[in-house]
Structure 1
């Protein structure tokens, strides 16, 4: 069985296991996802969803965040960890959105990568969840699971994992596939104590 064939089977199973997948960061405007994904670094999505409620009560637009001081932003986002650097990135990013992109989150990968605090993972998330374009988000769940499933071979570097997955994951399936990996990683294929006995993918698991 080729990796592409294996990936096709895994995609079908994950679609049945997690039919209603999606981003667990809560947002109703594109710029809010951009803020949340920066805060989510080394922080749980659940905590981010709580913290941003207070942030958006005080700053309800990219313009408002751009005009705020990084220090004031930090006071609110500190519970997410790395408050100083995250606040600085959010402030600079929102300034770029306002002054370089007319207040709108850009819809192409290179422009997204030019924003403060935005790396490949964040750019892919925006491309997939906001603009509905093919996207592979190589977060910790993705990297752990695709190695266990044998879709990549001992690769831990996110960019290299992404590159390998583009070869075998159909573009139209890519975004939901990554969300379903997160679902499965949280529910079953956990980092320390995976529940292998109830895993629908244990046939393909190197760990097992």
Structure 2
């Protein structure tokens, strides 16, 4: 399958079968989503959703978080990955929002990346989810699945994958395609053992095609060996 055909098939399938894909992080404001995405780095959305209700109850807005300390924030997020660093990032992020952006989560990716704890992936998530910008956030799921399906050609870095996806996906699908790839990677195309037997898109997947070819080759070699030994 040619790359353009694979992209068309990918968009057509998920547009029909998951037209309302969205983040699984629970939030009600841009501020809450920003906090949740910062916390979600190298941690599961399920764990973050367990932590954020109490966190948002104590710190319902930028002002209350900025007035806190990393030590206090830590007590609410101790069960997530890297809580020490993240507690510092959250307080610093809130203080930066107040001092530089009047407490409003900025729209531009470059501005978002000026906030502590916000890298390119997080900035792209906020820009696409909150502001509906044509941005592609590449996390570990997106990076893995895009390479496996064949949407990207052996991209070595998340930025390289992002550039390829932005180049070939229709602009209006970029934001939702991020969620398509994440959800497919989270529930079907697992890192260690992809569930190819359950996957509905093996017919367009380069990884599946190559796996079958390897299986055929191994079977042929086994057959030759059996004949040689007979």
Q: Kindly tell me the number of residue pairs found equivalent between the two proteins.
A: 208
Q: 1:20 & 1:130 partners in 2: Cα distance?
A: 15
Q: Please say if 1:161 is aligned against 2:188.
A: no
Q: Is the aligned partner of 1:196 residue 2:196?
A: yes
Cα distance in 1 for partners of 2:198, 2:52 equals 35
Corresponding residue for residue 99 of structure 1: 99
2:127 maps to 127
The range that moved more, 4-13 or 158-167, is 4-13
| SS of residue in 1 equivalent to 2:22 | coil
* Moved >3 Å (runs of 4+): none
The reply on whether 1:75 has 2:75 as its aligned counterpart is yes
TM-score, normalisation: structure 1: 0.95
Tell me if the contact between 1:18 and 1:183 (Cα under 8 Å) persists in the aligned partners: no
Return the alpha-carbon distance in structure 2 between the equivalents of residues 163 and 117 of structure 1.
22
Contact 2:150 2:207 in 1 (8 A): no
* Cα deviation code 1:113-139 (max 9, x no counterpart): 111111111011001110011110111
Structure 1 stretches lacking a partner, 5+ long: none
CA contact (8 A) 2:39 2:48 kept: yes
Q: Is the 8 A contact 2:143 2:158 kept in 1?
A: yes
Matched with 1:144 is 144
- Is the partner of 1:207 in helix, strand or coil? helix
- Structure 2, unmatched stretches of 5+, are 209-230
Q: Aligned with 1:36: secondary structure? A: helix
**Contact 2:147–2:155 at 8 Å: present in 1 too?**
yes
Aligned counterparts of 2:20 and 2:161: Cα–Cα separation in 1 = 25
- Name the structure 1 match of 2:221: none
Match of 2:116? 116
Give per-residue Cα distances to partners, 1:82-135, cap 9 Å, x unaligned: 011000011000001111101100011110111111111101100111001111
Q: Contact (CA 8 Å) 1:93, 1:117: kept in 2 or not?
A: yes
Q: Is the contact between residue 143 and residue 156 of structure 1 (CA under 8 Å) also seen in structure 2?
A: no
User: Cα distance, 1:77 vs. partner?
Assistant: 0.8
User: Are 1:188 and 1:194, in contact at CA under 8 Å, matched by a contact in 2?
Assistant: yes
SS at match of 1:197: coil
TM-score (norm 2): 0.87
Cα distance in 1, alignment partners of residues 81 and 188 from structure 2 = 27
